[in-house]
Structure 1
Amino acid sequence: MSDLTAVVQFKHREHRGLGYDTGYSTLGAFIIPRTESNVLPLADIRAHVFSNGYFASNLGIGCRFITKDDNFAVGANAFYDFRKWKDLYTSQFAAGLEILTKIIDLRVNGYYPIGQRFKEKIHSLTTDGLTFQTRYALPAVDLELSGRAVTGSNFFQIHVGAGPYYLFKQNAGRFPTGNALGVRANAAFHFSKWFTLGAEYTYDPLFKARFVGFVSLNIHLGKKERSPYKETGKENIKEAFRVPKKEMNVRLQPIKRNEIIPMIRKRHTVSSL
């Protein structure tokens, strides 16, 4: 473990977000090697449990190319995502690009379902006709410009971000759906290196307005850097809660992306006439 740095995160979100209708809890780990190299491989693993008992997960790898002063990086990542929603089991491949600086970040991500993309069943039969209920997994792209507000404190940081996303038409099944442009805005408040509170707002014609709040506990693992002087007990306490210096540069910036595959349910009636 001494050769790795990891951030283990316990997070909970509530409640209706982009493509999901209940809150969920997450156990995740962001792992990088402990190195001064300008080429930084990384891994990002997350497991999610929804309030209704369904599961989702993400398994990702990536690489960042970093300047010597740790203040600028260009990175790329690839993910395999999974989600179960009732009788729809979907996997997807996703890829992202990122440009990271001390203040401003730019991220672009694309998502494409490769597993079961829809599940159709008969819902009801009435005098109006036969009604089908279909669940879809939607391909998507998103872009986000984000930044960190300068607070002057080592124990409190603010991150804000905003950008568009697009949900492509899902042509699988007999009743295509999708084709919606949306906008997203988010903010995260970091209290020391341990706790984060945040919120996210999205709007698009399919899912309409949705607002999500989240809280997370962040545990930093790995060999602690030795101080050049002997710390007092008071200084040790401060160090335990201080935002790590490397958090201020680009090495430990998290990968930001849609961690949940967006899904939607639609009903269509075929006339009996």
Structure 2
Amino acid sequence: MIKYVAALLWVTTLFSSELVMKHREHNGVGYDTGYTTLSTFLLPDQNKPIYPMFDGRFHVFDDGKFAANIGGGLRMPFGNPDWALGANFFYDYRDDGAFQINQVGPGLELLNPFLDFRLNGYIPLKSTIFKSDNTTFLHFQGHQAIVKNSLRAALPCVEGEIGSRYINKNVPLELYGSLGSYYLFSNKVDRTNFGRAWGGTASATLEIMDRFFAGIDVTYDRIFRWTVQGVAGINLLPKPKQIPRFLSQPIMRNEIIPIQKRVQRAPLINPATHEPFNFVFVNNQSGSNGTFEDPYPTLLEAQAASNPRDIIYLYPGDGTTTGYDAGYKMRAWQVLQGSGTDLPLAGTVIPAQTPGQMPIMTNLAGNGVTLEDFNIIRGIHVNGASINNITDGGVAGSYLIEYCRIANSQLFAIDGTAALGTIFTLTGSKIVRNNEFYGNGISGGGQDSDVVILAAPNSIVRIQDNYMDGQGITSSGVLSVVLGDVDMRVERNFSTGMLNIDAAIQRYNQGDNAFILVSQNQFVSSCNSGFTFFPLIPISLINGPGELRIEQNIFDNHTFSHIGIQVDTFSEITCSLNQMLNLTPSNVQINLTPLASQVCLTLEYNNNPGSYTFLNQTGDPAKYQVQAPNASLSGLETQNTGTFIISPAGTTNFVQPGTPCP
């Protein structure tokens, strides 16, 4: 250890070296927090025609963020040896917390024992601007939502300075003072200008015994106004012996990249169009031009005046369907939003303007809401439409329906099959979540459902977190017609009072990667209960494998005693039934119809007080494969509660877990 310290001290004898620790107080140009610095400056402690320099500084702000400077340059004495010309170049870094900034800074200096002249430039590089994602809604105005958010910009800068020092040779004391000016150049964030300001500086520093120093810096500009900072520190190494003080002094420049912060108050911008979102307001207790101040009184007026991508903002008004009783036909990318529900939009959330009060609408002569493409319906009570409460209109490839109450339709609550003749054009994302359904399908004759979706190849379907009360009227909670390679998930729904089936999934035209998950649902008090999975007669000759997973579902209090999975017609299905809790004695039947090609089953940790029936109507054991410990029925019985029936006897092929489907 001693030899390393000795080597370090020997190196310092070769250089005019400084190792400085200092602290600067808060309230600087472009920063609010004080910081502590450890810096080193190296320059040869010998007479030379040109002196190379190295300068490194590391800063820790009081709030734990970091900044740094590293640079170097040359100083060259000329003419009268009391003058020197210097040039330097620095790389600067600052972590602002919101973003990280890098910049380069060239500098020139002209020095003598009594006067210093400096010119420094500061040029930020990439990532010089920041806009906060946490936009805050302020209010509506006209057809717009006014928001505020935090903007920040690193500012390019140039500064010039004249400094002078006084050295008292009788006592170890040095006084240094400087005056200067700077200009903060412009930057722009999201149409907001930053910078463009002249400023002035003044500073004074007192150094004692070539070791301790303290000073004060004062600046003023129209952006950061007056700043007054104190600084104090200590130099841990001895001063140079061989060369003049003015020649060995550290490079003087700004250490911290200036950042200007502003709060922007402006209309909320649609990132797809780079223009403000346009709101069309509707309130049946008003009557004017669709602005926030004077909403339209009817949905038909809003429909006639609206454009694609508009947000139709519907107030409950007098709490009736007056003015809201002729349905609404959406246009592409429109949002139909109820004022009683939060509206998430482009990184902000517009809070509910009438919390707990949901607008109610209907259509006495047709569908309640007719979708187009890329629509959102949120926070609307659609009630008692004479056909379907919501329909896809034959052109809706993607849509989101959430936080709605959908009740008392004559047919379907949500009908996503209107485009049956053009199914191959309707690939998209179809999401139905966090809704309430009550008593839909009044005239459906047992063929109606709460949610019926026709999903084209490569679509995504999500039916999640809904409450479905059939009230003894609705045939089934979910009826989905799936076409091809679809990723479909029916999860965390609560279904009760259904007239017929809890979840029916029909599938045409199998592709190679279809995946269907029915998970964590509760099915209670239905006349019957079950899942049906029928790939019907294929539309094309492309028939590939699919995967059906049914797991962690709860069944209780059913009138009928059958829970069924049916695999039908020219299909190869990998099916897993796991962690089912059935509180009503039932027969769980997995039926392979005569025309089916293959089913591969996995059953694990199910609790059923009734029985399980493996019904193989093909009669070929190779087509009905069941994974079980020890490849035996007894192994299956150890993993599940309930008895097993194989029909006809001997038509099930038990295999070891992990065996692939043939």
- How far has the Cα of 1:150 moved from its partner? 4.3
The equivalent position to 1:124 in structure 2, one of 136, 159, 167, is: 136
- Quick one: structure 1 residues 48 and 87, their matched pair in 2 at CA, closer, same or farther if it must change by over 3 Å? same
Matched residue, 1:181? 198
- How far has the Cα of 1:52 moved from its partner? 0.6
2:71/2:91 contact within 8 Å kept: yes
Matched residue, 2:36? 25
1:137 maps to amino acid:
A
Q: Does 1:36 align with 2:47?
A: yes
Q: Does 1:218 align with 2:235?
A: yes
Matched residue, 2:374? none
2:234 maps to amino acid:
L
> Aligned to 2:224, what secondary structure does the other structure show?
coil
Paired with 1:256 and 1:181, the residues of 2 have a C-alpha distance of 20
Matched residue, 1:163? 180
The equivalent position to 1:253 in structure 2, one of 243, 249, 258, is: 249
2:138 maps to amino acid:
T
Matched residue, 2:217? 200
- Quick one: structure 1 residues 35 and 246, their matched pair in 2 at CA, closer, same or farther if it must change by over 3 Å? closer
> Aligned to 2:193, what secondary structure does the other structure show?
coil
Matched residue, 2:258? 262
2:45/2:243 contact within 8 Å kept: no
CA-to-aligned-CA distance 1:182-236 (integer Å, 9 cap, x gap):
0000000010111011000000000000000010101226xxxxxxxxxxxxxxx
Paired with 1:144 and 1:246, the residues of 2 have a C-alpha distance of 27
Paired with 1:36 and 1:136, the residues of 2 have a C-alpha distance of 44
2:245 maps to amino acid:
N
Find the structure with the greater CA-based Rg. 2
Write out aligned runs for 1:34-183 (5 A).
Answer: 34-67=45-78, 70-121=81-132, 122-127=134-139, 129-183=146-200
Matched residue, 1:209? 226
- Which structure's residues are more often strand, by fraction? 1
> Aligned to 1:250, what secondary structure does the other structure show?
helix
Paired with 2:175 and 2:228, the residues of 1 have a C-alpha distance of 19
2:42 maps to amino acid:
I
- How far has the Cα of 1:172 moved from its partner? 4.7
1:82/1:92 contact within 8 Å kept: yes
- How far has the Cα of 1:89 moved from its partner? 0.2
Structure 2 runs not aligned, ≥5 long: 1-10, 141-145, 269-290, 292-662
CA-to-aligned-CA distance 1:40-78 (integer Å, 9 cap, x gap):
000000000000111000001100001487521000000
1:138/1:262 contact within 8 Å kept: yes
Paired with 2:112 and 2:193, the residues of 1 have a C-alpha distance of 40
CA-to-aligned-CA distance 1:137-158 (integer Å, 9 cap, x gap):
1100000000012434350010
- Quick one: structure 1 residues 5 and 68, their matched pair in 2 at CA, closer, same or farther if it must change by over 3 Å? farther
> Aligned to 2:223, what secondary structure does the other structure show?
coil
2:130/2:189 contact within 8 Å kept: no
Paired with 1:246 and 1:262, the residues of 2 have a C-alpha distance of 37
- How far has the Cα of 1:245 moved from its partner? 5.5
Show structure 1 runs of 4+ deviating over 6 A.
none
> Aligned to 1:38, what secondary structure does the other structure show?
coil
2:88 maps to amino acid:
N
- Quick one: structure 1 residues 244 and 59, their matched pair in 2 at CA, closer, same or farther if it must change by over 3 Å? closer
* Percent of residue pairs bearing the same amino acid type: 34
Instruction: Flag the structure with more relative contact order, 1 or 2, with Cα contacts below 8 A and sequence separation at least 6.
Output: 1
> Aligned to 1:251, what secondary structure does the other structure show?
helix
- How far has the Cα of 1:106 moved from its partner? 0.3
Matched residue, 1:228? none
The TM-score normalised by the length of structure 1 is: 0.87
- How far has the Cα of 1:36 moved from its partner? 1.3
- Quick one: structure 1 residues 150 and 250, their matched pair in 2 at CA, closer, same or farther if it must change by over 3 Å? closer
Paired with 1:114 and 1:186, the residues of 2 have a C-alpha distance of 29
The TM-score normalised by the length of structure 2 is: 0.37
Greater alpha carbon shift after TM alignment, 131-140 vs 51-60: 131-140
Paired with 2:43 and 2:176, the residues of 1 have a C-alpha distance of 22
1:247/1:253 contact within 8 Å kept: no
The equivalent position to 1:271 in structure 2, one of 251, 267, 270, is: 267
Paired with 2:196 and 2:236, the residues of 1 have a C-alpha distance of 39
Paired with 1:142 and 1:134, the residues of 2 have a C-alpha distance of 25
Superposed CA RMSD: 1.9
CA-to-aligned-CA distance 1:146-182 (integer Å, 9 cap, x gap):
0012434350010000111110111354312110100
Paired with 1:166 and 1:153, the residues of 2 have a C-alpha distance of 40
> Aligned to 2:257, what secondary structure does the other structure show?
coil
1:101/1:249 contact within 8 Å kept: no
Paired with 2:48 and 2:237, the residues of 1 have a C-alpha distance of 20
Paired with 1:150 and 1:143, the residues of 2 have a C-alpha distance of 24
2:240/2:248 contact within 8 Å kept: no
> Aligned to 1:256, what secondary structure does the other structure show?
coil
Q: Number of paired residues?
A: 252
- Quick one: structure 1 residues 244 and 43, their matched pair in 2 at CA, closer, same or farther if it must change by over 3 Å? closer
Structure 1 runs not aligned, ≥5 long: 222-242
Paired with 1:271 and 1:264, the residues of 2 have a C-alpha distance of 22
